[in-house]
Amino acid sequence: MGTDRPHLQTETNLLRHDPIDPGLFRLNRKRLLDRLPANSLAVINANDLMPTNADGTLPYHPNADLFYLSGIEHEQSILLLNPDANKARDRAILFIRQSTPLLKIWEGYNLDKKDARSISSISRIEWLDEFWSVFKQLAFRKKCFFLNDNEHQRADNPVQTRDDRFREEIKKRYPKREHGRLAPVLHELRFVKDAREIGLINHAVDVTAQGYRRVLKMIKPGIKEFEIEAEWARSFISNRCKFAYGPIVASGENACSLHYIDNDCTCQKGQLVLMDVGANYANYNADLTRTVPVNGKFSRRQRAVYSSVLRVLRQSIENATIGKSLKEWTREAQELMNEELVSLKLIRLKDVKNQDPKNPACRKYFMHGLGHSLGLDVHDVSNGQTVLKENSVFTVEPGIYIPEEKMGVRLEENIVITPQGPLVLTKDAPIEPDEIEEIMNSKS
């Protein structure tokens, strides 16, 4: 006999993660509201549900800013912030899509007002079709609208988003109002993590480390890259996670292509296999890279290159201190890498002496950056942030790529910047070459 579904428990099951303390979202909203000027409104839209072909759609991924401020993961939702509202309940208004009998038949459970209130701690929840009437009432005396955008330094934004369309509509309806940029304010806030956010990142890291240990035991000559990828997927899905990004499983010379994602080759004896994989839990991401020998034993040359990368990694982690300039942090790693590449006979001391400071000699074999902010986005928003700050979370990922030797080695850890020094979240993912060999050759 059927019964009514329990609200919050059903919703969290649908979203594949445990409930998150709504106080986190309440605090995030307060921090943003405190930075918005009087006589303004701010609007944050959900992401679109993206189409594929015919009637297909991609799996839905929530807007990181909307989630950061509300915990809401449903399409078409809108968050409206009114910093100088007379009543506290009117400072944040969440608009969600109202379910219908037809939607319930096709989609099953849909978010309702009670659940939205429990998840977000937002008191005032309205149906989506009420948005423009509410906005019109509030906008009457406002001077400026703060509108959101995907302002990431690596993004070219070729696809129009709901925020883009909303901006165009606002300009038509209110052509004489000022428009402020919300993204820089949000990016500054998101750069430094709350302890609860670090806990969610750490959970994603733990799931990733567990998966890595399982994968180590199955790698052997003749295995396909996609078979390794499949084991990662099994491990993540069984732990209520998904891939944080397209996984890289690159054997041999494939590892010299930084964003190789075909994962369709056979791992051969004598090769290394580079795995750059991370879990996403509750929209927070891990980002791990390990490089291991396919046959379970590093050759002398492989171990030498691996050890060079490991030394640069460890010293770079030690160098990651509060207040350190990101440029200086990277420059220190490049100097370390120059020394290692000379010892490996890949470059000469003459090359280092004559290098252009803007294009150091190590770039021939270490051509990418040292690390990036990590959080709700894998390459988390950090526009305008130039120094390492307390409770910021970073990847550290040096590498050496030698196409002429058909070998690439990259090692990546996730760290939290603390007053006591960097805290390594990925410490449970084996990285010492001897430990890797021991696990790969263990029969248990």
- Condensed to tens digits (0 to 9), the pLDDT of residues 136-177 reads 999 998 999 999 998 877 777 788 999 999 999 999 999 999
- List per-residue pLDDT tens for the chain, 444 residues long: 333 333 333 333 345 799 999 999 999 999 999 999 999 999 999 999 999 999 899 999 999 999 999 999 999 999 999 999 999 999 999 999 998 888 788 877 788 999 999 999 999 999 999 999 999 999 998 999 999 998 877 777 788 999 999 999 999 999 999 999 999 999 999 999 999 999 999 999 999 999 999 999 999 999 999 999 999 999 999 999 999 999 999 999 999 999 999 999 999 999 999 999 999 999 999 999 999 999 999 999 999 999 999 999 999 999 999 999 999 999 999 999 999 999 999 999 999 999 999 999 999 999 999 999 999 999 999 878 999 999 999 999 999 999 999 999 999 999 999 999 999 999 999 999 999 999 999 987
Phi and psi at 64, nearest 5°, equal: -65, -40
Beta bridge partners of 51: 57
d(CA 136, CA 163): 18
CATH architecture of 195-441: Alpha-Beta Complex (3.90)
HSE (side-chain half, CA atoms, 13 Å) at 205: 26
pLDDT per position as a tens digit, 186-216? 999 999 999 999 999 999 999 999 999 999 9
**Residue 434 burial (CB < 10 Å; 0-12/13-18/19+)?**
exposed
pLDDT given for residue 79 in this prediction:
98
> Under CATH, what is the fold of the domain 7-190?
Creatine Amidinohydrolase; Chain A, domain 1 (3.40.350)
Residue 246 token pair? 């397209």
d(CA 373, CA 207): 20
Nearest to 150 by CA among 41, 48, 278: 48
pLDDT per position as a tens digit, 370-382? 999 999 999 999 8
Residue 78, Cβ neighbours under 10 Å: how many?
A: 22
Beta strands at 178-181 and 144-147: parallel, antiparallel or unpaired: parallel
pLDDT given for residue 15 in this prediction:
59
pLDDT given for residue 383 in this prediction:
74
Q: What is the pTM of this model?
A: 0.94
CB burial of 43-70 (b: ≥16 within 10 Å; e: otherwise) equals bbbbbbeeeeeeeeeeeebbbbbbbbbb
C-alpha distances in Å from residue 329, one per residue of 315, 382, 386: 10, 16, 10
Task: Please say whether the beta carbons of 231 and 267 come within 8 A.
Answer: no
HSE (side-chain half, CA atoms, 13 Å) at 77: 26
- Where along the chain do its domains lie? 7-190, 195-441
Beta bridge partners of 438: none
- What is the torsion angle, in degrees rounded to the nearest 10, for the CA atoms of residue 291, residue 294, residue 296 and residue 298? -60
Q: At what angle do helices 300-319 and 326-343 cross, to 10 degrees?
A: 160
